[in-house]
Structure 1
Amino acid sequence: MTGSILLMALSLVAQAEPAAQSDLAPQVRRLVRQLDDPSLANREAAEQALIDLGPEVIGLLPQVTRQTSAEVKERLGRVSRALETKAAKAASEPTRVTLSGEMTLAEAMRELEKQTGNKAEGFEKRSMKVTTDFDNVTYWEALDQLLDQAGMSINQYGGINNTLTLAARPEEQRDRYRSDAYAGLFRVEATRVEAVRDLRNPNVTGMRVHLETMWEPRMTPISISQPLKQVTATGDDGDELGVSNQQGEMSAAARADIASVEFDLPLPLPDRSVKEIASLKGTLTALVPGRVEAFEFTDLAEADNVEQRKAGVTVVLERMRRNNDVYEVRVRVRFDEANNALESHRGWVYNNEAYVLDADGNKVENAGLQAYQQSQNEVGVAYLFVLEGGPKGCKFVYHTPALIVRMEVPYELKSIPLP
């Protein structure tokens, strides 16, 4: 590789390098004990001090049990929620790249992954040279410029979880860079415009702008929606075009193995003198998962509504029930603020990892699942396991995001040509 590569810290670690967890552990233990201090002022000071230590101490906080006092339980809950929220918001900031010099595409892509944590494949055998001059630019800005130089694009249906699949693009296809809107960790692009005029009924006309929204592959959102009342469009004559059905909302579930979601925005068909949409503004709503926490349950045969709580989520192991060699584990997951994530697009919660560790520590995957309860903030799922040696000494492990963050994502697209 020629030139120089200037490494940068991710935007979510922009502050000074935190102290090692081993150094923070004694301080965290002392502050947790202080949460039960007789003095109200000392308890409040300890709670704030734990929050001020930042998200890196989340893993050092003790698990709440039945023996935990009500005071400590309440304060630890607030501390966990505050820290998880900080962590989720930091992770939802766009990653940035600093890189300069001439190098192969493969070298540049590996450096992007190193700096941002965003994975891609399909470039490994590409030997062409690219020139980089990135100074703290967002991931999407850097990637688009590299792909333009290499004559490549992204196959949205690559099928690899949390990984972009790169592919060659037609020569006549326009460049990616600056043909879109960079909106935080999202990339929004108008990819197609369709105009409709009913020849039998001249009053039936309309236009649809096809929007493609991508996200940094390191963080797959739960869902993305576009309230139509948040969309405005202006023609090149300066007149507002308006949006059809302003009370409506378009929504799509995001998947880790598909790189984008797509919406067709309904607009009125403008006069033929209007040649382009000068400005299309909107605000997407994205539900983003926070840090994934692991909940571990033992003594499965005797389990009776065993409850564990971390940050903004509570997991309840109702019971284990045997049916011949198959054991059913019934689990309820409840979020303090689900932000509608369990209403229309709830497939993500059924993809949460759930397994059993047998007495020897071997992992036993579930053989199937079925939802048995559903509400606005809670879902109940029954998991089936084949445990040849029975449940003695086994441990049930459940992974789920500790909270769900609602993000507003404003964007603006300019100079969209009309058909």
Structure 2
Amino acid sequence: MSLRKYAIGLMSLGMLVAIAGPVRADDEELTAQVEELVAELDADTISERDIAEQNLLRLVDVEGVGPQKFLAVLPKPNDNMPPAVRERLASIRKMVEQRLASQAIEASKVTLEAVNWPLEEVIKKLEELTGNKIIDNREAEAAAASPQIILKVENEPFWAVMDQVMDQARLSQYAYAGEDALSLMSRSEGEGQRFGRACYEGPFRFEVTEVSATRGMRNPSNQSLRLDLEIGWEPRLRPIALTQQMSRLDAITPDGEQLAPAQEQRVFNIEVQEGTCASTINVPFELPERSVEEIMLLGGTITALVPGKREEFRFDDLKSKEPIVKTLGGVKVTLERVVKNGEIWEVHMNLELENDNGALASHRGWVFNNITYLVGDDGEPIDHAGFETTKQTATEVGIAYLFDLPEGIDGLSWVYESPVSIVEREYKYQLEGIKLP
């Protein structure tokens, strides 16, 4: 059955039915069917328009399509379309983008059989399978001696596989590579195995890396137990922020007792820095009796704020006297004006989020890291020379980008890239057998 016949059949029946068997789509069929269904969004009756909308959404699940391919083919709303079509297209795009964003915050799964593969070959394959960039930052002499990797895994999380590879190659992680990548370095003498010490949940990796106990001798009441909890994430993820509440963290001893938190109401808010793929929080508990030798179970829940699919907003009329507004998904970008100030040109813009899950109320750093540039006919991007914040509210940020343009703005377009959805998700984790000093 072809994709075209499948979808036309649905429409002719005037109802929605399940796909009877596997259906594959090539690009031409998909484009043609999307165009036909989009035209039906302007049908005479509401029921016909509803059916066309639902059939468009069902195309996402056709084998060989998926959210990303579907969004690439789906027309973007424009002023030449009837209002009803624009509204439905915007709604469809938003639903699929949210779905794509939700997929992005699941763990990358790896199926791989490597028998005596060189390390660089394993790294290349893992990059292909997961979309995670991996950099070998070992010293030249160490990098020249490529370890051989033996590994057989099926549908395993990226971090579980990566830990096994790093153990075989005697590698460690440098979390602050300066770019969205996992940076590998030679393991220091005495450093233990990674695999088996961590908990893998979704795209995150949790590990207690250090435990310290303090008992004041001059002031006996000055005593505490602190755990360094490292939270790592797949480099492709680029989370905006992570939150860990002490009230959602339990430490259970072998006798079933729960360690008392030292600051029960404390909330760790981690605004993720660009170019990192791990962060550590120092978790405080009351110091237990000396008879307690380990934490049998450490269980917690983090809340992650993660950007979804990124889109490009392009503005060609930089001399417009009126603001130009473009909306994709849940993001509205407005080019307010472009003005010359002395020798500098200022591009004034405004970004507004709908249903941002607090992504602007508490965390704005990701907005300032969004890519923006001017571009001419030669296709070469012109980077800005700085920016100034002109507006900040719970749902909006205004920025003036500064450009040094001796030849003016003739023939230039302004390009702004931003995620068009922000997803909030909770992840539960458990770590066992944490020895106390």
Q: Same fold by TM-score, threshold 0.5 exceeded? A: yes
| Residue correspondence of structure 1 range 253-292 to structure 2 within 5 A | 253-292=271-310
In the alignment, does 2:25 pair up with 1:19? Answer: yes
Letter of the structure 2 residue corresponding to residue 98 of structure 1: T
Choose which of 173, 177, 197 in structure 2 pairs with 1:158.
177
Letter of the structure 2 residue corresponding to residue 109 of structure 1: I
Q: Partners in 1 of 2:23 and 2:401 — Cα distance? A: 41
Choose which of 381, 386, 389 in structure 1 pairs with 2:399.
381
SS in 2 for 1:391: coil
Shift of 1:18: 5.7
Q: Judge conservation of contact 1:65–1:308 (CA < 8 Å) in 2.
A: no
Choose which of 189, 204, 208 in structure 1 pairs with 2:207.
189
Q: Partners in 1 of 2:208 and 2:24 — Cα distance? A: 41
Q: Quote the sequence identity (%).
A: 37
Q: Partners in 1 of 2:345 and 2:277 — Cα distance? A: 36
Letter of the structure 2 residue corresponding to residue 312 of structure 1: G
Shift of 1:360: 4.2
Counterpart for residue 384 of structure 2:
366
Q: Judge conservation of contact 1:211–1:265 (CA < 8 Å) in 2.
A: yes
Which of 207-216 and 51-60 deviates more? 51-60
Shift of 1:358: 2.3
Matched residues, number: 404
Counterpart for residue 89 of structure 1:
102
Decide whether aligned partners of structure 1 residues 17 and 310 sit closer, same or farther in structure 2, where only a CA change above 3 A counts.
Answer: farther
Q: Partners in 2 of 1:290 and 1:29 — Cα distance? A: 25
Counterpart for residue 58 of structure 1:
71
Q: Partners in 1 of 2:185 and 2:378 — Cα distance? A: 44
Counterpart for residue 80 of structure 1:
93
Letter of the structure 1 residue corresponding to residue 339 of structure 2: R
Choose which of 50, 54, 76 in structure 2 pairs with 1:48.
54
| Residue correspondence of structure 1 range 65-144 to structure 2 within 5 A | 65-100=78-113, 101-122=115-136, 125-144=144-163
Q: Judge conservation of contact 1:356–1:365 (CA < 8 Å) in 2.
A: yes
* Runs (5+) with no aligned partner, structure 2: 1-20, 61-66
Q: Partners in 2 of 1:62 and 1:326 — Cα distance? A: 36
Choose which of 324, 339, 347 in structure 2 pairs with 1:306.
324
Q: Partners in 2 of 1:405 and 1:323 — Cα distance? A: 38
TM-score (norm. length: structure 2): 0.88
Which deviations, in whole Å up to 9, do the C-alpha atoms of 1:240-280 show, x marking residues without a partner?
11323333210112234222111111211111100001000
Q: Judge conservation of contact 1:21–1:57 (CA < 8 Å) in 2.
A: no
Which of 183-192 and 34-43 deviates more? 34-43
TM-score (norm. length: structure 1): 0.92
Counterpart for residue 228 of structure 2:
210
Counterpart for residue 200 of structure 1:
218
Counterpart for residue 147 of structure 1:
166
SS in 2 for 1:397: strand
Q: Partners in 1 of 2:204 and 2:276 — Cα distance? A: 14
Q: Partners in 2 of 1:247 and 1:105 — Cα distance? A: 45
- RMSD, aligned CA: 1.9
Letter of the structure 2 residue corresponding to residue 78 of structure 1: S
Shift of 1:387: 2.5
SS in 2 for 1:230: strand
Q: Partners in 1 of 2:207 and 2:378 — Cα distance? A: 51
Decide whether aligned partners of structure 1 residues 126 and 288 sit closer, same or farther in structure 2, where only a CA change above 3 A counts.
Answer: farther
Q: Judge conservation of contact 2:320–2:337 (CA < 8 Å) in 1.
A: yes
Which of 405-414 and 92-101 deviates more? 92-101
Q: Partners in 2 of 1:30 and 1:218 — Cα distance? A: 35
In the alignment, does 2:260 pair up with 1:242? Answer: yes
Decide whether aligned partners of structure 1 residues 26 and 323 sit closer, same or farther in structure 2, where only a CA change above 3 A counts.
Answer: same
Decide whether aligned partners of structure 1 residues 17 and 297 sit closer, same or farther in structure 2, where only a CA change above 3 A counts.
Answer: farther
Q: Judge conservation of contact 1:318–1:331 (CA < 8 Å) in 2.
A: yes
Letter of the structure 2 residue corresponding to residue 115 of structure 1: L
Q: Partners in 1 of 2:181 and 2:414 — Cα distance? A: 29
Shift of 1:375: 1.1
Decide whether aligned partners of structure 1 residues 349 and 18 sit closer, same or farther in structure 2, where only a CA change above 3 A counts.
Answer: farther
Choose which of 198, 214, 224 in structure 2 pairs with 1:180.
198
Counterpart for residue 390 of structure 1:
408
Q: Partners in 2 of 1:78 and 1:64 — Cα distance? A: 10
Q: Judge conservation of contact 1:299–1:393 (CA < 8 Å) in 2.
A: no
Which deviations, in whole Å up to 9, do the C-alpha atoms of 1:309-351 show, x marking residues without a partner?
1111111111111123321111111111221222333111111
Counterpart for residue 411 of structure 1:
429
Letter of the structure 1 residue corresponding to residue 375 of structure 2: L
Letter of the structure 2 residue corresponding to residue 298 of structure 1: D
* Runs (5+) with no aligned partner, structure 1: 1-14
Decide whether aligned partners of structure 1 residues 35 and 188 sit closer, same or farther in structure 2, where only a CA change above 3 A counts.
Answer: same
Q: Partners in 1 of 2:28 and 2:205 — Cα distance? A: 39
Letter of the structure 1 residue corresponding to residue 39 of structure 2: R
Q: Partners in 2 of 1:243 and 1:166 — Cα distance? A: 35
